[in-house]
Chain A
Amino acid sequence: MDPVFANSIMMLALALAAIGSSIGLGWAISSAMGAMGRQPEAAGRIQTAMIIGCALIEALTIYVFVTVLIIFFLS
């Protein structure tokens, strides 16, 4: 395969993963913000759960990034 084409495909994969991850992050953070606004006394626990969830969501993008790196260095 043309290496420029292959690189563009990998960039596209990373961009798609970033799009999906950002949608998920936006949803999670907006829900957490709403919950914190309704219950300010539970803000600490909501924030902790939100950080865990954000880490798990953005881990998908990181996995794509690592996979792209591995493919890039192996090819």
Chain B
Amino acid sequence: MATGHSQTHGEELVTRVDHEHAPPDRYLMPEFPPNFATMYEAIAGQTITGHAIEIHPGKRPHLGHSWFVTPAFSILYAILIIAAIRWVLRRASMERPDRRQMAVEMLMGGLRNFFGGIMGREIADKYLPFLGSLWIFILVNNLGVLVPGMKSPTYSWKLTFALALVTFCYVQYQAIRAAGFWGWFKHLMGEPLWLAPLQFPLHVLGEIIKPISLALRLFGNIFGEDKLLATFLGMGMLLVGGVFGTATPFVGIPFALPFYFLVLLLSIVQATVFALLASIYIMLLLPHDEHEEHGGTPHVPTVGAPSSLATPSAH
């Protein structure tokens, strides 16, 4: 497992382990919190070479290549959660609900109330399958870093941009389905029709920028959290390594422990914000006369308010 530097001297390829010139790895910060692979490498390196921290000589403990932190693995998380929820709800009974069914119903009811407070009950029930699964998926993927030996799959910009792309396609599809193609196009053209050459590029640009800002926000937050944890882990390793000579990634975990609570809070907030902004993007693109009677958000301009006063409010 000692991978050295490869240097070409003329024709021959000389592979050697550069122990002397490489800086010792305890002076290098880890890039991410440790996962199973690097912990195994740390333990195995300790037993083999006697130096705990020298995992790859001259290289940082690099954690980016494990298969279980790639975004493909996070789909497995989602499938597991959906399978668990379906398994619980398959044995649901109205007469004698058991504990698991109560938990799932609390989760679903909480999501329904949350989005119902924003969009109004009827609209929220229509879009709840997408928004709720988006929330659960992002939350589980954000919380991956709390398990020692894993990191959040959303630290990667690829996953967040994929989520934003899915959100973009879903929002546009629902807007076209609700208003019809010409209604959607007319919405992009803007209200006074003679300003359409000015407003159409702005609206199209706004529709494209919204998912990009969603993706960048999620990526930046989760990446920053992972970097924060890794930095404090590395500071613990530096401290212990400076006193005792060697250090494993385990000794840094107490130093990073206060920030696990911060990560717990921020993960929930970021998942909520993603789903919330997705719901607001749906609401902004819906035809205006459909949701004016609920008055869920202050963002939506209420066109034709007197007619909405005549209809009884839904809630």
Please, which residues of chain B bring their CB within 8 A of the CB of A51? 269, 272-273, 276
| B192 within 8 A of partner (CB) | no
B224 engages A52 (CB within 8 Å): no
| A6 within 8 A of partner (CB) | no
Q: Which interface class (under 10, 10 to 19, 20 to 34, 35 or more) fits B? A: 10 to 19
B277 engages A44 (CB within 8 Å): no
B117 engages A44 (CB within 8 Å): yes
B277 engages A55 (CB within 8 Å): yes
- When chains A and B are docked, how far (Å) is the Cα of A62 from the Cα of B157? 13
Please, which residues of chain B bring their CB within 8 A of the CB of A49? 297-298
Which of A44, A45, A62 contacts B217, CB < 8 Å?
A62
Please encode chain B, from 247 to 274, with 1 for each CB lying within 8 Å of some chain A CB and 0 for all others: 0000000000000000000000100110
B117 engages A48 (CB within 8 Å): yes
| A71 within 8 A of partner (CB) | no
| A66 within 8 A of partner (CB) | yes
From known contacts A51-B269, A52-B277, A55-B277, infer whether A62 and B117 are also in contact, taking CB-CB under 8 Å: no
| B78 within 8 A of partner (CB) | no
- Chain A residue nearest in CB terms to B280: A52
A66 engages B272 (CB within 8 Å): no
| B213 within 8 A of partner (CB) | yes
- When chains A and B are docked, how far (Å) is the Cα of A55 from the Cα of B213? 11
| A63 within 8 A of partner (CB) | yes
- When chains A and B are docked, how far (Å) is the Cα of A69 from the Cα of B223? 11
User: From residue B27, how far is it (CB to closest CB) to chain A in Å?
Assistant: 17
Please, which residues of chain A bring their CB within 8 A of the CB of B216? 59, 62-63, 66
User: From residue A12, how far is it (CB to closest CB) to chain B in Å?
Assistant: 17
Which of B213, B220, B297 contacts A65, CB < 8 Å?
B220
26 residue pairs A–B, Cβ–Cβ below 8 Å: A44-B117, A45-B117, A48-B117, A48-B118, A48-B276, A49-B297, A49-B298, A51-B273, A52-B273, A52-B276, A55-B273, A55-B277, A58-B217, A59-B216, A59-B217, A62-B216, A62-B217, A62-B220, A63-B216, A63-B220, A65-B220, A65-B224, A66-B216, A66-B219, A66-B220, A69-B223
The 9 A-B residue pairs with the shortest CB-CB distance, nearest first, are: A62-B220, A55-B273, A59-B217, A65-B220, A66-B220, A62-B217, A66-B216, A44-B117, A48-B118
